[in-house]
Structure 1
Amino acid sequence: MEGAGVWIEAISSAGGLLVQIGPIVIAAVMISGYVQTLVPNDKIEYWLGNDAGWRGLGIAIIAGAITPGGPFAAFPLVVALYRMGAAFEILVAYLTAWSVLGINRAMVWEVPFFGIEFVGLKMLVSLPLPILAALMAKSLRRYVTASA
């Protein structure tokens, strides 16, 4: 393919991607806006803030594991929660759990490809990862200026 054909193919592909991903991005941004508007900041700070400790970490890990969808769903939510007072390390735990313990992804994609034994063992060995990521994030937070 050369010349105008390449441009037409690229524009067609980009348009298809926009139609596929656009509604997801819009929905995720709207959900993040609803969270920021409907949930009081003091509740986020209590449950997920710097003083939330193991309670906040547990909530983040469970929420991350059950959050469906790709980064277009998870990332805007994390930005909203961070702006509302959620602790950096708790959000790192959420994203780590979302990426390695995603139950929806495991049921839809991993089990059919790899089988239940493989996925079960993967989940088992991955369980400590969100906690380790949170501990590392907390210890390194003072060296990084995180902005969202």
Structure 2
Amino acid sequence: MSLFFIMLSVLAGGLLYQRGGLDALRDGLAQGLILLISITPLVLLALLLAGYAQSLIPPRWVESQLGRHAGWRATGLAALAGALMPGGPFAAFPVVLVLRQSGAPLSTCIAFLTAWSVLGLHRMIIWEIPWLGWRFALLRWLISLPLPWLAAHWAYRLERRTTREETA
């Protein structure tokens, strides 16, 4: 994956140099450095919190509440947590990392991320209701409500299918 981003960066740099010369390339590097400096503390703090969470949440609890044998209850709990999870990807992805490393199945993690992305109550309150009105926000939220369960279901089925194919 790193090789892909290195190649993409070199390609983008080449295109930038071709269009605007060395000054454009320097400007792009400076903007990238500013972005790196501003984001790095967030990423470090999010990973630190993920490490704390992994130490605080016993793997047995994850297995019993969110594991394969928890069924739709696990999907519901993950969807509720995702919908209530504030913040951007720097908050949500470390949580999923901790869940996966603690034994949560792929389907549960996908339910969490799907709910976080389409059912986030904080985004609905902060952005959708003030800008688009409560009717729009509520209708969009209700239409999106089944998506974490659908995503978890299909993730479970695809994971089972690929696991069977690998063992065959």
Asked if these proteins are the same fold (TM beyond 0.5), I'd say: yes
Q: CA deviation at 1:6?
A: 1.1
Normalised TM-score (structure 1):
0.89
Correspondent of 1:123 among 112, 131, 141:
141
Aligned equivalents of 2:93 and 2:39: distance in 1?
Answer: 14
- Which structure 2 residues correspond to residues 13-92 of structure 1 after superposition, within 5 A? 13-92=31-110
CA-to-partner distance for each residue in 1:44-79, whole Å, 9 max, x for gaps?
111111111232112101100011122222112212
Q: CA deviation at 1:134?
A: 1.0
Aligned residue identity for 1:109: W
Q: CA deviation at 1:111?
A: 2.0
User: What's the C-alpha RMSD, in Å, of the aligned pairs?
Assistant: 1.6
How much identity, in percent, do the aligned residues show? 46
Aligned equivalents of 1:29 and 1:8: distance in 2?
Answer: 31
Aligned residue identity for 1:69: G
Aligned residues: 145
Correspondent of 2:157 among 135, 139, 142:
139
Q: Give the match for residue 111 of structure 2.
A: 93
Aligned equivalents of 1:3 and 1:140: distance in 2?
Answer: 47
Hey, which bits of structure 1, 4+ residues long, moved more than 4 A? none
Q: CA deviation at 1:94?
A: 0.6
- Please identify, of 69-78 and 42-51, the stretch whose mean Cα deviation from structure 2 is larger: 69-78
Q: Give the match for residue 21 of structure 2.
A: 3
- Please identify, of 37-46 and 1-10, the stretch whose mean Cα deviation from structure 2 is larger: 1-10
Higher normalized helix content (fraction of residues): 2
Q: CA deviation at 1:87?
A: 1.6
Q: Where in structure 1 are there 5+ consecutive unaligned residues? A: none
